[in-house]
Amino acid sequence: MKVYITASSAITPQNTFDSEKYLDVWQSSDLPYQLAIEPDYKSVIDPKLARRMSRIIKMSVATGNKVLAEADIGQPDAIVVGTGLGCIKDTEKFLREIINEEEGLLSPTAFIQSTHNTIAGQLALMLQCSEDNFTYVNRGHSFENALADAMMRIYEGADHVLLGGTDEMTSEVHNILTHMNCGGNTLLGEGACFFMISNTKIDGAVCIEGLDTVNYITTQQITERVKSFLRRNNVDTNEVDALILGIGEGLGDPYYKEIIQMFTPDIPVINFKEVTGEYFTASAYAFNVGSEMLRKQCIFPKILISGNNTSGLTKVLIYNHYQGVNHTISLLSL
């Protein structure tokens, strides 16, 4: 059985929410980390509901709503979200209040909104959706595990699953992650990407041919892992039309170098973290930009780091790793 992305939406530090202006004008920032360009939420979220929402919830609800509208699905069979740090801003607010109030009077809103599953829960409340509601919090594989769950639900008979990968950046998180060297050379970032994962191919749908995740693999093992993944999906390396990699600023990163060397020198190589920066669920955006490339049959020049596309795009390979620990391989096709 095939699994399709029938709609997708992304809010990132570049213009990606408005489909008409997708990656058209490049934004630069002087901040030490990348902040998402957020739309005017008043037109997408009921202001009465939005007043309690932190940025991550607003970004997620806006992209989730857009996906539901695009796919014309009122009630998905499940809502599955991956997030590395969840509603960290509200967690910070709640913890700060605990300290300031000496564990006394605490605001209930920050506490209620501080849990990781608030995002999927908020979407369910808005849709009055009582179907399964899951949140995966697994560091650099949070989105991938949510995606694997969504795919398995389709294999088991679900028609449509609303899937998301989302994280927000704050100055506190930036300071902590920088001390831990979690971004490498790449600026830390944030974003929300939502997808409708469906069992039926419709016009413009993109097929997720397969997904492979692995932890703690060496650079020597990565090429064999990718070859084996492609073999399982009956795809030869010369059938792959483009690579979507999470290189960021790590052009010398040995994992990405090994992957690029597996393919012909002129294969288009897309650096999706130019758009998102680095964060736990940045890989979700690889699926969004991959879908856009296949649907629009174009390669966005701002994120093309080498190669060129002379023929059409039919198959694109996604590879990302988070901190050299969580590795992701996937293949999208038209």
Partner 1 sequence: MEELKDNLKAAIIEALNLEDVNAADIDNDEPLFGGGLGLDSIDALELIVLLEKNYGLKIENPEEGREIFQSINTIAAFIERNKK
Residues of the shown chain interacting with partner 1 in the complex, contacts defined by CB under 8 A: 47-48, 50-52, 105-109, 112
Is residue 64 a contact partner of residue 129, using CB atoms and an 8 Å limit? no
Minimum CB separation of residue 38 from partner 1 in Å reads: 14
Q: Which CB sits closer to partner 1, 2 or 52?
A: 52
Query: With respect to partner 1, which residue has the nearer C-beta, 91 or 333?
Result: 91
Query: CB of 45: closest distance to partner 1 in angstroms?
Result: 11
Residue 304 tokens, joined: 């093309």
Give the residue with the Cβ less far from partner 1, 108 or 265: 108
* CA atoms within a 13 Å half-sphere pointing along the CA-CB vector of 297: 6
Residue 50 or residue 262: which is nearer to partner 1 going by CB?
50
Q: Under a CB-based contact definition with an 8 Å cutoff, are residues 272 and 243 in contact?
A: no
Least CB distance to partner 1 at residue 118 (A) = 13
List all residues 6 or more positions away from 120 whose beta carbon is below 8 Å from its beta carbon. Answer: 79, 80, 81, 133, 134, 135, 164
Rounded distance between C-alpha atoms, residue 53 and residue 71, angstroms: 24
- In the structure encoding, which two tokens stand for residue 44, read together? 């997408």
Query: At 59, which helix (H) or strand (E)?
Result: helix 55-71
- Cβ closer to partner 1: 93 or 141? 93
CB of 121 to partner 1, least distance (A): 14
Beta bridge partners of 328: 213, 320
Concatenated DSSP letters of 212-241: EEEES--HHHHHHHHHHHHHHTT--GGG--
As measured in angstroms, the least distance from the Cβ of 51 to partner 1 is 4
Closest contact distance (angstroms) between CB of 47 and partner 1 is 6
Closest CB to partner 1 among residues 49, 214: 49
Closest contact distance (angstroms) between CB of 108 and partner 1 is 4
Closest to partner 1 by CB, 58 vs 174, is: 58
Task: Specify whether the CB–CB gap between 313 and 293 falls below 8 A.
Answer: yes
Beta bridge partners of 214: 327
CA distance 85 to 135: 11
